[in-house]
Structure 1
């Protein structure tokens, strides 16, 4: 049966009955519902097709090659990719925001909407990468805490202690009911043991671990984004990625239905599909990220040309490079990113406006910022390519 689920009958606690509900809902709540029991995978022998293994091998090689090219990319490109992965992962959960809004949230100039939540996902990704050498219950909980610690502090710091379900108002009519919470600790211990194995191809192992994590659904919230952060931790842990966080979630965006269908197939015992989905997403992510790197390198070369001949232009050049990471920038961020004094940064910003690299503006908080529209346009193009099944431009 491999990864196939089994099921058990459970009942909701009577004490949880709401005061205001229809008679039908209250009667239904008193009936048993069916919850999943995840397969044990710690010692599973994965039976994957040769084609699936070959594609995973090709994708792994592409990831390794791209990661090794990091010295050829613009200086802050690793941070740009990390943010792109975080935004794409959030978009899968229907948390969307414009590139300018996200850029404002990064520098503390926007506190409303989805943008701050997406920035929290960056922190979860950073935590995942920092903890990649220690795939454990504690590190996985730390990833989810980095994600939701600010927005939902009551939902972090532990695995869930209640039944959750996907779709429907009750588990009785849900599209998927993860395991009862009393099974979560044991299921996660089994998953951690699987993640620590050294006898499997890394991308295959990471894809299966992700699918198992989403099946267990160990947290009350943030499972999708935490599960994709775990994928990156495993790619780093396995040595596939050493310098960059390749935006694999951006690759998933071209076929979100296929991603969720693959999770469903995994729960039927068919592991090939989830490995194929992540292999394809990795290849597409590398292609898209390489295009973004080329676009940003071209922008930087164009700014250098525009800034040629400016007296005392060192701060201006440093600020221009910083806007690859901070396309909306304020004075404090520019000073921190460049290490230059306030007068030097103020003069550099004025030079960049004069030469058409930046435009002055106001943030959502009505504070003064400077905007690099060319970088925002390049990021928008990256997002547009990620959302198309086949792109050629």
Structure 2
């Protein structure tokens, strides 16, 4: 327990929505009178510490993150800015939430199709947009302000008017309980008039350099979820913040380690850690982050090895000369396992006939196969990559 770190509460008058659907007498009785909203403790200048064993665990976990990031950077499948297939499926894992606020999942095939903007389910389209938005957001790590967070939210929730993309929430929200009032909620975040000041305080905390990196990320995450600054998309935006902090501190150069997604594999202990944090004890959330980091790195290494092995096997199947376009397409498949001739043409920078020839060579080598018999705008799929990505998601406990 850190003295003065726990949240307090204040009462607000509740005005029910006259246009809300009718409810039972019991629900109406439960929604009468004022409700209590949280007042988060300030963190910008607060002095606190966690026990030696907890901090040692966080330090070891951060070392694993740094080591794994370096392994990916040195690998032949590393790209200039991202190890894309790993990033995409990690974000899919990150985007899946068991809370009432958010529950977004998509299989690797659907996500690959959505990346091509081919027909896919809405969840896959959303996750594909999240991949791009999170990559852009993390690129802004050096300019960590409230506006950075607003920009990330706008990119993630663009087109979803109910979420007020790029704006702090204009009304009270709550977690759990009835949708008609906050009276039976499991947690009621601060009143919307307190959000801007609370976020300014959090950003000041995030810019501190006297707090160990993973501990800082864990506390920032918990504080963000406590403030709950948006009408929707808090989970996704909060996970962006975690990756921004890791990159800002130099722990990662690539967006590859789904630390916060690991928290959601065991939701019971994760929510218990958030509850403990709000009661003034930051240790459980730091411990959960450390455990999640180790799990994420272990799982990521298995996927990385599987993709390296798959790539090596493909190389053995091809007989084209080394300068041929098909070799560049082969590397492209690891980043994006669904392709069209047009996509290959644009990404590799070759003519349409050369792109078609490369696709034909990959089909002949058994690397890719057509998704359908439709010859117009045909999509080819690297099924072995899809399998590796889905196996990664299964190990992480998030199935599309």
TM range (shorter): over 0.9
Q: Give the TM-score normalised by structure 1.
A: 0.92
> What per-residue deviation string (whole Å, max 9, x for no partner) do you get for residues 288-330 of structure 1?
111111111111111110002x368722221121111111111
1:259 is displaced (CA, Å) by 1.7
Say yes or no: does 1:322 pair with 2:332.
Answer: yes
Matches within 5 A, 1:162-173: 162-169=171-178, 170-173=181-184
Moved more, 240-249 or 161-170: 240-249
Match of 1:385 in 2: 395
Counterpart of 1:21 in structure 2 is 22
1:345-384 equivalence runs, <5 A: 345-362=355-372, 367-384=377-394
- Cα distance change, pair 313–198 in 1 and its aligned pair in 2 (3 A): closer
Partner of 2:347: 337
Aligned to 2:115: 106
Q: Deviations over 1:160-200 (max 9, x none)?
A: 11000011222001111100101111111110111111111
User: Which residue number in structure 1 is paired with residue 286 of structure 2?
Assistant: 275
Residue 391 of structure 1 corresponds to none
> Can you list the C-alpha shifts for 1:83-128, whole angstroms capped at 9, x where unaligned?
1221011112421111100111111013533111111221331133
**In structure 2, C-alpha distance between the alignment counterparts of 1:2 and 1:63, rounded to whole Å:** 32
**Structure 2 residue matching 1:200: 3-state secondary structure:** coil
Whole-angstrom distance in 1 between the partners of 2:109 and 2:260: 20
Q: Of 215, 225, 235, which residue of structure 2 is paired with 1:204?
A: 215
Contact 1:363 1:369 in 2 (8 A): no
Superposition pairs of residues 1-393 of structure 1, within 5 angstroms: 1-13=3-15, 16-18=17-19, 20-22=21-23, 24=25, 25-26=27-28, 28-69=30-71, 70-76=73-79, 78-92=83-97, 93-152=102-161, 155-169=164-178, 170-308=181-319, 310=320, 314-362=324-372, 367-387=377-397
Unpaired runs of at least 5, structure 2: none
Please identify which structure carries the higher helix content. Answer: 1
1:2–1:46 CA contact under 8 A, matched in 2: no
Whole-angstrom distance in 2 between the partners of 1:373 and 1:85: 18
What displacement does 1:19 show?
5.1
Structure 1 unaligned residues grouped into runs of 5+: 389-393
Equivalenced residues, count: 385
